[in-house]
Amino acid sequence: MAIADVPLRFEKVDTSKPYEVVTDKAGAYRINLPSGSYLVRREWTNTDSLNRPIKLSAPLDYGPGKITVKPGDRVVVDFALRAGARP
């Protein structure tokens, strides 16, 4: 089952620069990344005890937690979430 509107964060390992994308209604995403290695996480927003928004992130349930992109490469990576894992 595809899940729409899931924010994914690709954080470049050597600079911590984030690149973000959100899945479409079919649960798919496409992102153009410069060459390098990236940690991959899912993100969501919740509120703290004072009702202030806080951004949370966690590793993906299934799929690589780190990817490497080389110049000129096209990389296809599938990720999955456990049922009920989306906040």
Whether residue 83 lies inside any domain: the answer is no
- Considering its fold, how many domains does the chain have in total? 1
Binned at pLDDT 50, 70 and 90, residue 34 comes out as very high
Which residues make Cβ contacts (< 8 Å) with residue 84, sequence separation at least 6? none
- Is a pLDDT exceeding 80 seen at residue 13? yes
Q: Which residue has the tokens 């496409």?
A: 30
Whether residue 32 lies inside any domain: the answer is yes
Whether residue 86 lies inside any domain: the answer is no
Whether residue 16 lies inside any domain: the answer is yes
> CA–CA distance from 39 to each of 1, 3, 12, 33 (Å)?
24, 21, 7, 12
Whole domain around residue 29: which residue ranges? 7-69
Whether residue 28 lies inside any domain: the answer is yes
**pTM given for the model:** 0.72
Is 54 strand, coil or helix? strand
Q: Per residue in 57-73, pLDDT tens?
A: 666 666 678 899 999 88
Q: Compute the average pLDDT of residues 42-51.
A: 78
Whether residue 82 lies inside any domain: the answer is no
